[in-house]
A and B are shown apart, each in its own frame.
Chain A
C-alpha cells in the first residue's frame, strides 16, 4: 500500500485523576505517517506536549504486539478502533485519511473506573481470576503428547478461549457493561480440559459471583462483545458458561 502523510484532529478524553471531572480536549496533529501505529501517533503527540511543558496524555500499553491486553482505547465509538480482530497497538494509521477527526475515549463501565485520561483501573478482572480462574494443584511440566488423552474438538475450543488477553473491549462494547465474554473465556479454557475438570463447578460459581460484585452487568446476548473482541472469542462460550452455572448451582456439594 502506498505511503502517505496526514493531518488529523484528535478529540481526546482528559481527566487528571479518578475523582475529578473529565472533558474532551482537541489536538491538531500534523504529518502523521500512514505507516505509524495508532500508539506511535500518540507518542508523537505526547513528545510535543512534553516539549511544550504540558501534561502528556496517559494511556495504557505494554507489548505493542497484540498479546498483553494493556492497550485500551475507544476509537470513534469502537473499542480498539475500526479494524476487525485488532488491538489498539496493532491498529495502523492507514486506517485513517487526511483531515479525519478521531474521537478517543477510555473504556466506560462502573467496573473500570478512569484513573487518568485514557487509563482505567482494570484490577476487577484480576479479582475475577483470583476468585477461581486457576487450577489449585501443580499440574507439572508439559507431559508426553498422548499421556493425557484430550478430545481434539475440546482442545481446539479450549485453545481458542485461552486466546483472550483480558483487554476488556467486550465490557466496553456491551450495552450492559457485562464482562461475560471475558469470564466465559476464562471459565471455558480450563473447564474443557481434564486438569480443569475437578474444580469446574466451584470455579464458574465463584467467578460469576465476583463478576457481579465488581459491578458488571448481565449478558443479554446482543453479540456486541464478539464483534469487537480482538481475539475473536465466541459468544458460544457464554452459553457454555450459563450451562455450567445452572448445572453447578443445582449440583454442587454445598
Chain B
C-alpha cells in the first residue's frame, strides 16, 4: 500500500509537470504558443519506447494499489461486526483519514472518465486533430483538452476528482512513510508539512487546467 502509493505520487509529479506546459500559452509567457510546448511534450511521452514501457508499469501500479486498497478496506471493515451507538468520529482522527477507501474509489471513477477522455483517443482510437511542428505530425492534444473543457459539467467533474485526490493525499502522503517505517519525530513532522505542501501545489495546478481552458486564459487562439 505504502510502496504503490509512493510510486503513484512520483507519477503525479511527472503528470502535473508535463500538463503544466499548457500554461506556457498564458499572456505572461507566450500567448502565441497555443499549446505547442504541451503537444511536443505529450508526443514525446507517447512515442518513446521507454515511456510506453513505463506506462505499462504505471497501469500495473494503479491496478495493484486499487486491489490492495479495496481488499484492505474490505478486511478492516469486517473487524467490528457490531458497531457503536455513539461514534468517536472527528474527536480522534480526521474524516479524510477514515475515508481513504471512499476517496480512492472516487479517484478510480474519475480515472475511468479521464482515461476514456484522453488516453484512449490518444493511444488507441487516434481520432484526434493533428498538429505539425518542424515537419513532425502529432496529435493536437491541446485542442482536444480545450474542447473537452468547454463543457462546464466536465470541468466540475474534474474539479471534484482533484478534490478527492487532494484529501486522499493529505492523509496518504505521510501515512505511506509511516507504513514504510519512518518513526523519527522530526522527519515525520517534516514529511507531514511536505505532504500538505506537495498536495496543495499539485492539486491547485491540476485544478487550474480545466479552469484556465474554460475561462479562455489559455486557448488555441
Contacts and interface: CB of A to CB of B under 8 A. Distances in A.
Interface in B177-211: 177-183, 185, 188
Contacts of B175: 220-221
A77 B87 contact: yes
Contacts of A247: 181
A218 interface: yes
A220 B88 contact: no
Nearest to A157: B183
B134 interface: no
A36 interface: no
Given A78-B88, A105-B86, A236-B185, A221 B178 contact: yes
Interface residues of A, number: 43
A109 B93 contact: no
A227 B183 CA distance: 18
A219 B180 CA distance: 12
A183 to B, nearest CB: 14
A78 B86 CA distance: 8
A246 B76 contact: no
Interface string B74-91: 011011111111111101
A103 B86 contact: yes
A109 B79 contact: yes
A242 B177 CA distance: 10
Interface in A37-63: none
B180 A246 contact: yes
B143 to A, nearest CB: 42
Interface string A88-126: 000000000000000101001111000000000000000
Interface bin, chain B: 20 to 34
B181 A246 contact: yes
B79 A222 contact: no
B80 A240 contact: no
Interface in B52-88: 72, 75-76, 78-88
Given A217-B76, A221-B178, A77 B83 contact: no
B115 to A, nearest CB: 27
A17 interface: no
Contact of A227 (B87, B92, B180): B92
B100 interface: yes
Contacts of B98: 175, 222
A128 interface: no
A108 B79 CA distance: 9
Interface string A214-239: 01111111111101100000011111
